[in-house]
Structure 1
Amino acid sequence: MAVQKLKHGLLAAAIVLGSGAALANDLSELGKSLTPVGAEKKGNAAGTIPDWTGGLVAVPKGFDPAKGYINPFADEKPLFTISAANMAQYAANLTPGQMEMMKRYPTYKMNVYKTHRTAGYRQSVYDNAKAEAPNVKLVDGGNGVEGIKKSNIPFPVPKSGVEVIWNHNFRDLGGSFTRYSADFPVQTDGSFTVGKRIETVSLASHMDSPEPNRILYFMNQITAPANAAGEVALVHEPINQVAEPRLAWQYNPGQRRVIRAPELAYDSPGIGADGLRTNDDLNGFNGSPDRYEWKLVGKKEMYVPYNNYKLADQTLKYSNIIQKSHVNPDMVRYELHRVWVVEATLKPGKRHIYAKRVFYIDEDSWGVLHADQYDSRNTLWRVREVFGTQAYHAPAFASSGEVIYDLQSRRYLVGGLTNEEKFAEFGKKYSPADFSTAALRRMGR
């Protein structure tokens, strides 16, 4: 089947502006008609999206990190299932990528459950957003942010697409986290080779004395397969990457030395992804926005991956999740949520393998939950989903994994799965010295 092309004007025609659009320029509404991070507090008129009442920020009784999440919605059943047979009925709330997956793969479906607005953060995240937002502004044509010190939500009432993307890049991750996860590049016949990694991320805002012009620090250690084990990547993520490009280093166990790795950015192939992911694909999107024009299309009600505690269940084996052509759809939970729709178009003279990207970003958390990505012919190429899950013990909105489907090669990459790994750790205090090249050398040894 030919790859579906995005028709001119189709996306714009489908946008439904949220009921709080008139409040979009009023920071004084934070914590009132808007949530502390800028979402509309009230649900929708149909009652299918409820009011936001604080999110899920209390740890359920009996929670034991050694055993993973307790699923607060374990007893719920799907309200309905969307497949190729009935997707026309729900098309207004589906992305082109979701519909193309249903057309291509008869076994692909979306189980839709009751909506729960669980996203919530620490009180300090709310306080810093409200205190700093009046003084934050874009610089260098939107490629940098000025006036931000501790806030994780620089633009809680965004006026442009690039401001929404900055909220995604800055959003809180529990201060810091260490994740033990597995990645699976899945071939057309369903075969795969597992890769495993230990990722440590610390937001600069969670450090006592971070370096200037920093969003976060990132260390990525490969532990499997055997031919890649021991590779370590280190990234210092600047706020303004036009003024100061991403700083990256890599430890190569064969050479036993640390080398600069400026290629760990933009559309260079991601480590261990078998050519299925770019470096700026990870986590929905990361890095500098400077290669694209960012258009804020509006807000829309969408069926997106949300509250995926079932997928994170540590009694599941990876063989329960990985299937030929796509992940097991009975493991994935979809809910109706309001999302910001942002369209990124490659700037003239700039280079990237994606000529256009359309992002669907959760209003309650500022996390990218879905992205449709197009090649230079404006043909839908890759479909990306992030399986959003509220980490109530952090508290922060995280994920139970993410997937990218390559429609041209008919392969896919699912990553960030933790079912057979140690449970993630949140909130540890780090310093820049913990993310130095000396620390990278020690880790390599």
Structure 2
Amino acid sequence: MNRFRIQAAGALLCALLPLHALAKVPADQAARLDNDLTPFGAVRAGDPALGIPAWTGGLQQPPAGYPGPGAFDIDPFPEQRPQLIIDSANRAQYAEHLSEGVQALFSAYPSFKVPVYPTERTFAAPPEVYANTRANASRAELTSGGNGFGGAVGGIPFPIPQSGLEAIWNHIARWQGRYFDEVSTTAQVRADGSYSSLRERNQLLSNYYAANQTTEGLGNILYRYMNQILPPSRSAGETLLVHETIDQVQAPRMAWNYFPGQRRVRRAPTVAYDNPVDGYVSDDADMYNGAPNRYDWKIVGKQALFVPYNNYRLNQPGRAFNDILKPGHINPDLTRWELHRVWVLEATLKTGERHVYAKRRFYLDEDSWNILMAESFDSRGQLWRVNLAFTQQAYEVPTLTTSVIVYHDLISRDYSALGLRSQEKNPRQFQLPVPPDSYWQPANLRRLGTN
């Protein structure tokens, strides 16, 4: 497929999109989710010329040899080898399938490589999430000028998006399990490859995907999130609690910090937008999170690009961090890239609003709505950060989950790698008992910080 064909396909898609957001789609459009579209709104058919297969249900069952729930996922494609390896010498041959950010990584780091494997459309979700998504297609609508949404619960809110705002809400409210609990390490890697690390516990409880949740009972809480700094850090015991609202204009995100040295719980009003955090900013977390109100959002179109996908090798138990963390980028030999169709979404800072990023570009997996790659530009229009989400299908749930997220700073030449779990006893856990409501309250933070 040549460059013209890809660009023409994107232009055709944009031409078919309405000039204003209609939100709810008519019944005949919603019915496409059982026909030519997948339950999440992706094109069900493949593209044989590109080697993209049809979606046939994804990877819903663990492969042979998987020890069981709570164990590290094993690679379902252990015999596969790269079909090609793109590097700084041959990247021009594949430019039509490389994002601007990935090309910038080739320019910045001669050692950067993209090992391309066969495309496997492994994404799958539970049947009830598909059913909720079908219902949402005909009832969901944006609220507060697009800064929230209503009429949706338990599934993708806008599986047939008609605006950039609907598309970004699909990522924010995507299916990633009802509850997970993990211990992982964040590494800040300097240009010479040396790094500092921070071990932490992260828990996320979805209210939106709670069992038997209804639109009436949902309220304005999307999820609750807890982060605890663990030993050996001198900051061990510091705890952050977030109650994430759906409509952050109606009620802004609520966040609280506990600091052991002060033995006090305080509101944390700066945990949002461009508050700096370990080599990135607050709304870079999870590739994008929080209120979208400071940007104008636009769907550019769809494109077939090489993206990180099915990355099971990075977090295999016992793998040394020194084997993963290299100068400029993580070890490319441990990564897996595939050719997938992605939604290309651009966010431009509104006149009068403030943010360190003047423009952002996101690449959303058509099958799962996960942002797989992101590019952030400064006020001069210079590409500043390139973020990559190395994902894998958690087939025991099932859902697409992140293995490692890497935030590259092209100016400082540093990067941050989040989600390193290979030195832990357990991977991200989806099957543990859910803590009670009292656990997720500010009054509980002091007790947690002293345990």
* TM-score (norm. length: structure 1): 0.92
User: Per the alignment, in what secondary structure is the counterpart of residue 388 of structure 1?
Assistant: strand
Instruction: Quote the residue 1:437 is aligned against.
Output: 442
1:205, distance to aligned residue in structure 2 (A):
2.5
Identity rate, percent: 43
1:73 aligns with 2:80: no
Instruction: Quote the residue 2:321 is aligned against.
Output: 318
1:86, distance to aligned residue in structure 2 (A):
1.1
Task: Summarize deviations over 1:368-394 as a string: whole Å, max 9, x none.
Answer: 000011000010000000001100011
Compare 297-306 and 174-183 and name the one that shifted more: 174-183
User: Per the alignment, in what secondary structure is the counterpart of residue 136 of structure 2?
Assistant: helix
1:62, distance to aligned residue in structure 2 (A):
2.8
1:262, distance to aligned residue in structure 2 (A):
1.0
In the alignment, the residues of structure 1 paired with residue 6 and residue 347 of structure 2 have an alpha-carbon distance, to the nearest angstrom, of 17
User: Per the alignment, in what secondary structure is the counterpart of residue 312 of structure 1?
Assistant: coil
Instruction: Quote the residue 1:7 is aligned against.
Output: none
CA contact (8 A) 1:381 1:407 kept: yes
1:234 aligns with 2:227: no
Give the alignment of 1:75-114 within 5 angstroms: 75-114=79-118
| Cα pair distance change 1:118/1:176, threshold 3 Å | same
User: Per the alignment, in what secondary structure is the counterpart of residue 309 of structure 1?
Assistant: coil
Instruction: Quote the residue 2:176 is aligned against.
Output: 173
1:345 aligns with 2:351: no
In the alignment, the residues of structure 2 paired with residue 50 and residue 19 of structure 1 have an alpha-carbon distance, to the nearest angstrom, of 22
| Cα pair distance change 1:374/1:224, threshold 3 Å | farther
Instruction: Quote the residue 1:255 is aligned against.
Output: 262
In the alignment, the residues of structure 1 paired with residue 43 and residue 112 of structure 2 have an alpha-carbon distance, to the nearest angstrom, of 32
| Cα pair distance change 1:303/1:47, threshold 3 Å | closer
In the alignment, the residues of structure 1 paired with residue 14 and residue 410 of structure 2 have an alpha-carbon distance, to the nearest angstrom, of 35
Task: Summarize deviations over 1:100-126 as a string: whole Å, max 9, x none.
Answer: 111121111100000000011111110
CA contact (8 A) 2:185 2:418 kept: yes
Instruction: Quote the residue 2:252 is aligned against.
Output: 245
CA contact (8 A) 2:240 2:257 kept: yes
1:442, distance to aligned residue in structure 2 (A):
2.1
1:374 aligns with 2:364: no
CA contact (8 A) 2:6 2:304 kept: no
CA contact (8 A) 1:74 1:310 kept: no
CA contact (8 A) 2:245 2:251 kept: yes
Instruction: Pick one of 301, 304, 319 that aligns with 2:304.
Output: 301
Give the alignment of 1:32-51 within 5 angstroms: 32-51=35-54
- The AA in structure 2 aligned to 1:170 is A
CA contact (8 A) 2:133 2:154 kept: yes
* TM-score (norm. length: structure 2): 0.91
CA contact (8 A) 1:247 1:262 kept: yes
In the alignment, the residues of structure 2 paired with residue 253 and residue 415 of structure 1 have an alpha-carbon distance, to the nearest angstrom, of 24
CA contact (8 A) 1:15 1:298 kept: no
1:307, distance to aligned residue in structure 2 (A):
0.2
Query: May I ask how many residue pairs the two structures share in their alignment?
Result: 431
Task: Summarize deviations over 1:176-211 as a string: whole Å, max 9, x none.
Answer: 111211110001221111111111001113436776
Compare 72-81 and 10-19 and name the one that shifted more: 10-19
Task: Summarize deviations over 1:25-78 as a string: whole Å, max 9, x none.
Answer: 611111211111110110014151000011111022331256511111111110
1:142 aligns with 2:135: no
1:225, distance to aligned residue in structure 2 (A):
4.7
CA contact (8 A) 2:133 2:155 kept: yes
1:14, distance to aligned residue in structure 2 (A):
4.2
In the alignment, the residues of structure 2 paired with residue 324 and residue 75 of structure 1 have an alpha-carbon distance, to the nearest angstrom, of 29
- The AA in structure 1 aligned to 2:114 is M
1:13, distance to aligned residue in structure 2 (A):
8.5
- The RMSD of aligned alpha carbons is 2.2
CA contact (8 A) 2:208 2:218 kept: no
1:365 aligns with 2:368: yes
Instruction: Quote the residue 1:216 is aligned against.
Output: 223
Instruction: Quote the residue 1:404 is aligned against.
Output: 407
1:217, distance to aligned residue in structure 2 (A):
0.7
Query: Where do 5+ consecutive residues of structure 1 fail to align?
Result: 1-9
Instruction: Quote the residue 1:5 is aligned against.
Output: none
Instruction: Quote the residue 1:329 is aligned against.
Output: 332
| Cα pair distance change 1:414/1:263, threshold 3 Å | same
Instruction: Quote the residue 2:22 is aligned against.
Output: none
| Cα pair distance change 1:192/1:86, threshold 3 Å | same
CA contact (8 A) 1:303 1:336 kept: yes
Give the alignment of 1:120-135 within 5 angstroms: 120-135=124-139
User: Per the alignment, in what secondary structure is the counterpart of residue 69 of structure 1?
Assistant: coil
Query: Where do 5+ consecutive residues of structure 2 fail to align?
Result: 18-24
CA contact (8 A) 2:319 2:422 kept: yes
Instruction: Quote the residue 1:281 is aligned against.
Output: 284
CA contact (8 A) 2:274 2:283 kept: yes
Task: Summarize deviations over 1:287-329 as a string: whole Å, max 9, x none.
Answer: 1111100010011101000000111211321111001111100
User: Per the alignment, in what secondary structure is the counterpart of residue 167 of structure 1?
Assistant: helix
Task: Summarize deviations over 1:125-163 as a string: whole Å, max 9, x none.
Answer: 101111222111011111110112x23300000011111
User: Per the alignment, in what secondary structure is the counterpart of residue 76 of structure 1?
Assistant: coil
In the alignment, the residues of structure 1 paired with residue 367 and residue 334 of structure 2 have an alpha-carbon distance, to the nearest angstrom, of 23
Instruction: Quote the residue 1:415 is aligned against.
Output: 418
CA contact (8 A) 1:152 1:171 kept: yes
